[in-house]
């Protein structure tokens, strides 16, 4: 399994690096075979589904167009002035930039991403807004380059499902949070059984499908890391709209976008 995990991370990393280098927003990198079940047609940004037009109008176009999430963890987190926030898989920086507005000058936001191209884009976007309370770090969410007990809120937007070692992600999230800190994530989980063709297609990891866990297993892993008050705040059936119609039909009733909140005692 260790070798398979390395291959998964390699494909995910290459995919998001390539996405920053191409004009279309297809979630399949050029190296992915077009006959793959999970290789879609080009997809527009989904940010407008979760954020208001007024909010998005205040951000650089690159941050909006490169949004790859499945929810709005900023609304879920209910951030306050002066808090320190960590965004796992921060991408082009959209959620970090919103968080920076919420925590104010006395607060701080850290964006963590394993793809250098994403980090560079996020830094450019923060410069365009002259944001001083955001920092983007290169690193993996399974081994965070973050000091223990230094974070008030950990957020993530459709990223943890991409990790082949979710137990490590939740353990690290618990480690970096201060006591009474909170975990607030939007993610994709299974509410049905995937076809074997999809489950066994390693390229489906970049599509937030093959790496999705059954909802109860996902929540159990959060609890096992030490969190309590684990709660699904919202759950909506999710179908990747960028897929061909026949693929969308085959995935109906099998995936959900959930908002989860949990606390470190």
Residue in the structure block whose two tokens are 């937030």: 208
Contact 112, 14 (CB under 8 A): no
Q: Is there a domain that residue 8 lies in?
A: yes
| Cα–Cα separations (whole angstroms), residue 30 to 7, 38, 131, 135, 161 | 17, 13, 33, 30, 22
Tens digits of per-residue pLDDT, 138-178? Answer: 999 999 999 999 999 999 999 999 999 999 999 999 999 99
Q: Is there a domain that residue 73 lies in?
A: yes
Q: Is there a domain that residue 33 lies in?
A: no
Total number of domains constituting the chain: 1
Q: What is the mean pLDDT of residues 231-247?
A: 80
Backbone angles phi, psi at 111, to 5 degrees: -105, 130
Q: Is there a domain that residue 39 lies in?
A: no
Contact 215, 238 (CB under 8 A): no
Q: Is there a domain that residue 173 lies in?
A: yes
- Judging by DSSP bridges, how do beta strands 255-263 and 228-237 pair with one another? antiparallel
Question: Looking at residue 125, what is its pLDDT?
Answer: 95
Q: Is there a domain that residue 38 lies in?
A: no
Q: Is there a domain that residue 35 lies in?
A: no
Cα dihedral across residues 42, 8, 256, 79: positive or negative = negative
Q: Is the confidence at residue 42, as pLDDT, over 70?
A: no
Question: What is the span of the domain harbouring residue 159?
Answer: 2-28+44-263
Distance in angstroms (rounded) separating the CA atoms of residues 214 and 98 = 30
Tens digits of per-residue pLDDT, 53-102? Answer: 999 999 999 899 888 889 999 999 999 999 999 999 999 999 999 999 99
**Residue 135 banded pLDDT, cuts 50, 70, 90:** very high
CATH no. for residue 144? 3.40.50.150
Distance in angstroms (rounded) separating the CA atoms of residues 32 and 28 = 6
Least Cα distance to 196 among 40, 29, 5, 37 occurs for 37
Q: Is there a domain that residue 50 lies in?
A: yes
């Amino acid at each position: 399994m260790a070798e398979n995990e390395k291959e998964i991370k390699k494909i995910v990393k290459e995919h998001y690096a390539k996405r920053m280098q191409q004009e279309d927003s297809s979630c399949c990198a050029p190296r992915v075979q077009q006959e793959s079940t999970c290789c879609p047609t080009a997809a527009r940004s989904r940010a407008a589904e979760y954020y208001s037009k007024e909010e998005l109008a205040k951000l650089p176009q690159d941050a909006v167009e490169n949004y790859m999430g499945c929810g709005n963890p900023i609304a879920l987190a209910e951030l306050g002035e002066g808090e320190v926030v960590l965004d796992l898989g921060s991408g082009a920086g959209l959620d970090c930039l919103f968080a920076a507005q919420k925590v104010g000058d006395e607060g701080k936001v850290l964006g963590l991403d394993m793809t250098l191209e994403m980090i560079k884009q996020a830094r450019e976007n923060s410069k365009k807004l002259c944001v001083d309370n955001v920092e983007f770090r290169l690193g993996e969410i399974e081994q965070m380059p973050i000091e223990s007990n230094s974070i008030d809120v950990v957020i993530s937007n459709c990223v943890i499902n991409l990790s082949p070692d979710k137990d490590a992600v939740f353990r690290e999230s618990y480690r970096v949070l201060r006591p009474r800190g909170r975990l607030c994530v939007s993610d994709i989980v299974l509410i049905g059984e995937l076809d074997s063709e999809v489950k066994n297609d390693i390229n489906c990891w970049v599509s937030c499908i093959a790496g999705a866990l059954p909802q109860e297993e996902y929540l159990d892993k959060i609890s096992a890391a030490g969190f309590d008050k684990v709660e699904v705040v919202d759950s909506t059936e999710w179908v990747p709209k960028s897929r061909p119609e026949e693929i969308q039909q085959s995935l109906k009733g099998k995936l959900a976008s959930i908002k989860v909140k949990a606390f470190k005692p």
